[in-house]
């Protein structure tokens, strides 16, 4: 195969690829390979370009055995670390020099790596979250069988704690299942027509007992007349329940949680008709360092307080997925000592 033909062939490979012949020089490289490694690499010894030992080994071995090898090439594209899977294949009749040449193809597997890292983190988080209440339950069972066996007062108290811990596990499993359901439907657009003011009013009503216990005043300000949109009413109810509940739980010291509905024909964020629902509290607020990560699963700004209040850290992750499904946006503004405002923007 002539060098021109080889160059053309390598250029047609839709990912970084290069050819090294038996003189150990790079005899062809496509644009992606040049972008990844360096511009003038054709003609150079491969080991001066590819300096990672495992890559050098794989290429040397492929040239030596005239067989396939496989390795990883680690890089950084300026924004993040990237991982490439490198496949080396031997081609007997290729190259000007006797004996053929090897083709190395670099496949970007960064997203695969990230996904498997996320899965590992997720499993570790879930196990950790379940383990804490489970350990408590097991401890109390031991105590009830032994030292507290005949102590009626202690037994009552321990059973209460056990019920709380079991509830926490139950809530966690419920939240995980609901997150799973929301994620699996994320691409299915909701079709149901619903009226938002009524939905918010009934959500607020069901949270009234919680608010009264926490000494928090709940209020709703909505436009006169119906606010209609296409959505999933159960899911939107869950969104506002989570936001208002957070306002009561974490911002309750401010004494109020306000819900404000604003409907407009041309929303700046949605570039079209949309409705904004703001959930505002006057509590301690959230430090700016936490804001970008609030909707991550299990992320808590104040983990001690959240756990104490029975939170699973999944509430806002569920909120985000439901809003995504509705093609909406979630915004958070918060100032320490002043309070927090979550805004849900939904297209109409």
Ligand X SMILES: Nc1ncnc2c1ncn2[C@@H]1O[C@H](COP(=O)(O)OP(=O)(O)OP(=O)(O)O)[C@@H](O)[C@H]1O
Where along the sequence are the contacts to Mg ion (CB under 5 A)?
246, 315
Closest listed residue to residue 189, CA positions, set 225, 229, 137, 150: 229
Of 101 and 236, which CB lies nearer to Mg ion in the complex structure? 236
Residue 25 CB: number of other CB atoms within 10 A?
18
Tell me which of Mg ion, ligand X, none is bound by residue 347, counting a contact when its beta carbon lies within the kind-specific cut-off of 5 to 8 angstroms. Answer: none
Residue nearest to Mg ion (CB): 315
Rounded CA separation 188/191 (Å): 9
Site for ligand X in 227-286 (CB under 6 A): 242, 246-247, 250-251, 281, 283, 286
Of 199 and 243, which CB lies nearer to ligand X in the complex structure? 243
Rounded CA separation 112/172 (Å): 27
Do 243 and 317 form a contact (C-beta atoms < 8 A)?
no
Do 78 and 84 form a contact (C-beta atoms < 8 A)?
no
Minimum distance from residue 316 beta carbon to ligand X (Å): 3
Minimum distance from residue 340 beta carbon to ligand X (Å): 4
Of 278 and 340, which CB lies nearer to ligand X in the complex structure? 340
β 272-281/256-267 pair status:
antiparallel
Instruction: Kindly tell me which residue out of 25, 73, 168, 300 binds ligand X, with binding defined by CB under 6 A.
Output: 300
Of 8-16, 114-122, 304-312, 321-329, which segment contacts ligand X by CB under 6 A?
304-312
Instruction: Kindly tell me which residue out of 315, 322, 329, 346 binds ligand X, with binding defined by CB under 6 A.
Output: 315
Q: How many residues bind ligand X (CB under 6 A)?
A: 21
Q: Considering the rule CB under 6 A, would residue 294 count as an interface residue with ligand X?
A: yes
Contacts of 152 (CB under 8 A, 6+ apart): none
Tell me which of ligand X, Mg ion, none is bound by residue 133, counting a contact when its beta carbon lies within the kind-specific cut-off of 5 to 8 angstroms. Answer: none
Of 133 and 347, which CB lies nearer to ligand X in the complex structure? 133
Of 193 and 219, which CB lies nearer to ligand X in the complex structure? 219
Rounded CA separation 173/158 (Å): 23
Residue 269 CB: number of other CB atoms within 10 A?
13
Minimum distance from residue 145 beta carbon to ligand X (Å): 32
Minimum distance from residue 107 beta carbon to ligand X (Å): 36
Instruction: Kindly tell me which residue out of 314, 344, 345, 346 binds ligand X, with binding defined by CB under 6 A.
Output: 314
Of 30 and 306, which CB lies nearer to ligand X in the complex structure? 306
| Largest CA-CA distance found in the chain, in angstroms, rounded | 92
Site for ligand X in 128-187 (CB under 6 A): 175
Do 175 and 312 form a contact (C-beta atoms < 8 A)?
yes
Identify the bridge partners of residue 195 per DSSP, sorted by sequence position.
228
Of 108 and 245, which CB lies nearer to Mg ion in the complex structure? 245
Q: Considering the rule CB under 6 A, would residue 330 count as an interface residue with ligand X?
A: no
Instruction: Kindly tell me which residue out of 21, 340, 343, 344 binds ligand X, with binding defined by CB under 6 A.
Output: 340
Of 236 and 294, which CB lies nearer to ligand X in the complex structure? 294
Residue 116 CB: number of other CB atoms within 10 A?
11
Residue 74: which H helix or E strand, with range?
A: strand 69-76
Tell me which of Mg ion, ligand X, none is bound by residue 340, counting a contact when its beta carbon lies within the kind-specific cut-off of 5 to 8 angstroms. Answer: ligand X
Residue nearest to ligand X (CB): 315
Q: Which residue has the tokens 């507290």?
A: 148
CB burial string 196-208: b at 16+ within 10 A, e below: bbebbeebbeebe
Rounded CA separation 72/112 (Å): 13
β 256-267/217-221 pair status:
parallel
Rounded CA separation 21/46 (Å): 10
Residues in contact with ligand X by CB under 6 A are 175, 242, 246-247, 250-251, 281, 283, 286, 294, 300-302, 306, 311-316, 340
């Amino acid at each position: 195969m002539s060098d021109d033909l080889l160059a053309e062939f390598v250029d047609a490979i839709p990912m970084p690829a290069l050819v090294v012949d038996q003189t150990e020089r790079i005899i062809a490289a496509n644009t992606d390979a040049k972008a990844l490694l360096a511009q003038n690499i054709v003609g150079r010894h491969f080991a001066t370009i590819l300096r990672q030992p495992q890559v050098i080994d794989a290429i040397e071995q492929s040239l030596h055995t005239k067989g396939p090898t496989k390795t990883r090439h680690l890089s950084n594209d300026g924004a993040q670390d990237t991982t490439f899977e490198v496949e080396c294949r031997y081609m007997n009749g290729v190259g000007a020099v006797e004996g053929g040449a090897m083709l190395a193809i670099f496949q970007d597997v960064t997203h695969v790596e990230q996904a498997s890292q996320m899965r590992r983190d997720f499993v570790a988080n879930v196990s950790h979250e379940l383990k804490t209440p489970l350990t408590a339950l097991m401890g109390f069972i031991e105590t009830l069988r032994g030292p507290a066996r005949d102590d009626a007062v202690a037994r009552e108290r321990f059973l209460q704690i056990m019920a709380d811990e079991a509830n926490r596990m139950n809530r966690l499993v419920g939240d995980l299942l609901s997150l799973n359901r929301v994620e699996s439907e994320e691409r299915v657009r909701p079709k149901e027509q619903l009226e938002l003011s009524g939905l918010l009013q009934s959500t607020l009503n069901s949270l009234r007992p919680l608010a009264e216990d926490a000494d928090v005043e709940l209020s709703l300000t909505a436009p006169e007349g119906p606010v209609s949109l296409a959505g999933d009413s159960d899911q939107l109810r869950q969104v506002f329940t989570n936001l208002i509940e957070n306002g009561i739980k974490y911002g309750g010291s401010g004494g109020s949680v306000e819900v404000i509905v604003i409907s407009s024909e041309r929303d700046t964020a949605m570039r079209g008709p949309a409705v904004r629902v703001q959930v505002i509290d006057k509590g301690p607020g959230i430090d700016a360092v936490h804001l970008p990560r609030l909707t991550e699963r299990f992320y808590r700004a104040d983990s001690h307080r959240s756990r104490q209040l029975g939170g699973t850290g999944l509430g806002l992750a569920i909120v985000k997925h439901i809003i995504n499904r509705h093609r909406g946006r979630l915004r958070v503004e918060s100032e320490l000592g002043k309070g927090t405002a979550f805004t849900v923007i939904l297209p109409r």
